[in-house]
């Protein structure tokens, strides 16, 4: 097996209150996530160290490189997971640290501080009823990053379908006037949607989270 130098970013997550979700809807969400993870191969330069996968029930896990590219891949995967799981909310636990086992092609059967911290973070998120928690071993920065991430994700889960549709189109097209034309609505209507969703603040928060995660991965992850 291929060895992997410390540090790494482990991500473990699950669907919130999935047992109360309709069985057909739950299966559809699982199928969508399976498709997402199957396309997220650990290719060179992707930031993905091991292919994400569903593990037990509605839980999933993934492993990323602890650098700027890996941090970007983490945030991209989290956003995609949230979208594919709608209307069910998703809870995330992240951990930064080393591996004590060999790197495997899929994010299963590995061990080390990154996974221990991700598991602990997920439990803490569950116990405190928030949607995201990060553990790196430094409580002050962990708390700050986690609070912003939990707030951003809670805000995103509250977007209405028209708001979500407008923002998704904007991420594809890059201009609100193009979104209005695509959706066949006025530019004023599109502006109202993105402002009501709090899109500018959410976008800035998500960018700050990615930058902070990259910095912590580089600075903290290799210490244990």
Whole-angstrom distance, CA of residue 204 vs CA of residue 106:
32
The pLDDT assigned to 26 comes to 86
The verdict on 139 and 191 lying in the same domain is no
Residues contacting residue 186 through CB under 8 Å, at least 6 positions apart: 180
The encoded tokens of residue 72 equal 């970007």
Cis preceding-peptide flag for 87 (omega within 30 of 0): yes
The pLDDT assigned to 6 comes to 62
Asked whether residue 1 is assigned to any structural domain, the reply reads no
The encoded tokens of residue 205 equal 């928060």
CATH number for the domain including 78? 3.30.70.270
Beta strands in 7-89 (DSSP E): 8-15, 48-54, 59-65
The verdict on 168 and 207 lying in the same domain is no
Q: Is 207 exposed, middle or buried (0-12, 13-18, 19+ CB in 10 A)?
A: exposed
Whole-angstrom distance, CA of residue 130 vs CA of residue 151:
8
Q: What's the domain range around 186?
A: 161-196
> Are 151 and 202 in contact, with CB atoms under 8 Å apart?
no
The verdict on 48 and 153 lying in the same domain is yes
Give how many domains the chain has, as a whole number.
2
The pLDDT assigned to 17 comes to 77
Local confidence pLDDT in tens for the 224 residues of the chain: 455 556 899 999 999 976 677 788 888 999 999 999 998 878 778 899 999 999 877 899 999 999 999 999 999 999 999 999 998 999 999 999 988 888 888 888 898 999 999 999 999 999 999 999 999 988 989 999 999 999 999 999 999 999 999 999 999 999 999 999 999 999 999 999 999 999 999 999 999 999 999 999 988 644 44
pTM above 0.75, yes or no: yes
The verdict on 185 and 124 lying in the same domain is no
The pLDDT assigned to 102 comes to 86
């Amino acid at each position: 097996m291929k060895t992997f130098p410390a540090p790494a970013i482990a991500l473990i997550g699950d669907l919130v209150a999935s047992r109360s979700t309709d069985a057909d809807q739950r299966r559809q969400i699982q199928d969508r996530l399976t498709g997402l993870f199957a396309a997220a191969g650990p290719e060179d330069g992707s930031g993905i160290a091991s292919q994400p996968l569903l593990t037990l029930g509605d839980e999933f896990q993934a492993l990323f490189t602890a650098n700027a590219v890996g941090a970007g891949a983490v945030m991209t995967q989290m956003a995609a997971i949230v979208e594919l799981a709608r209307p069910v909310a998703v809870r995330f636990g992240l951990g930064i640290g080393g591996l004590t086992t060999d790197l495997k092609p899929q994010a299963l059967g590995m061990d080390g501080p990154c996974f221990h911290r991700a598991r602990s973070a997920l439990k803490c998120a569950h116990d405190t009823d928030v949607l995201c928690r990060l553990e790196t071993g430094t409580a002050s920065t962990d708390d700050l990053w986690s609070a912003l991430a939990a707030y951003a994700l809670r805000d995103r889960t509250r977007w209405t379908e028209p708001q979500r549709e407008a923002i998704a189109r904007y991420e594809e097209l890059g201009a609100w006037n193009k979104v209005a034309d695509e959706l066949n609505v006025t530019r004023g209507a599109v502006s109202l949607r993105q402002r009501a969703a709090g899109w500018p603040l959410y976008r800035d928060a998500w960018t700050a989270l990615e930058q902070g995660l990259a910095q912590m991965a580089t600075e903290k992850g290799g210490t244990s």
